[in-house]
Homo-oligomer: A and B are copies of this chain.
């Protein structure tokens, strides 16, 4: 029984690399390689594939979104996430979208083959470094849900504008802006603007 895989990565270099790594493994064949999400979807409509090796960073659609799409359209398909980063949010979001595993791009040949085999067999595969990240980093406080006005105010605050200046920009009273600021502090559970901005920047909210 041969495992047919599809490689989705926008780096030709990486594609070639994976192909080279898997050359010796006769239980795995590379059914195809594509460099963007759209082509991946069309490819899968006309080809039988067992496992998709999916890069997180794609030009058109993020790997995470594509993963969800794939699992909805082809539920029996297994997805093995892949990226350079061992960022907690990436990994968990990938898994939430139905991925069966996650490897870093510095995997060895042996580990990659092992991962594909395991995923294909219906098991979960996380490489050692990745699972370490999952257990090591404490669950961060979830990012609160902000209203559109709050996001707007937050962005201006991070730019260094005062309540008065922001009020001018938004054509509202400075008191209103101050309310939003206070709500932001409360939602994020922080003591002052400095801590607020730190979290906002770290979470790419600005």
* Chain A 175-206: CB-based contact to B (< 8 A → 1; otherwise 0): 00000000000000011111111100110001
The listed residue (B12, B16, B107, B198) touching A160 by CB distance below 8 A is B198
The complex places the Cα of A108 from the Cα of B195 at a distance, in Å, of 43
A111 to chain B, nearest CB (A): 10
**Quick check: A198 and B16 within 8 Å, CB to CB?**
no
**Quick check: A198 and B197 within 8 Å, CB to CB?**
yes
* B-chain residues with CB within 8 Å of residue A157 when the two chains form the complex: 194
For chain A, which range describes its interface: under 10, 10 to 19, 20 to 34, or 35 or more residues? Answer: 35 or more
The complex places the Cα of A158 from the Cα of B194 at a distance, in Å, of 5
* Chain A 99-116: CB-based contact to B (< 8 A → 1; otherwise 0): 000000111110010000
A200 to chain B, nearest CB (A): 8
The listed residue (B15, B17, B158, B196) touching A195 by CB distance below 8 A is B158
* B-chain residues with CB within 8 Å of residue A206 when the two chains form the complex: 198
**Quick check: A20 and B19 within 8 Å, CB to CB?**
yes
The complex places the Cα of A198 from the Cα of B20 at a distance, in Å, of 43
With an 8 A cutoff between CB atoms, is A126 at the interface?
A: no
The listed residue (B12, B109, B191, B201) touching A21 by CB distance below 8 A is B12
The complex places the Cα of A182 from the Cα of B197 at a distance, in Å, of 18
A29 to chain B, nearest CB (A): 17
The listed residue (B20, B107, B162, B192) touching A162 by CB distance below 8 A is B192
The complex places the Cα of A105 from the Cα of B109 at a distance, in Å, of 20
* Chain A 80-122: CB-based contact to B (< 8 A → 1; otherwise 0): 0000100000000000000000000111110010000000000
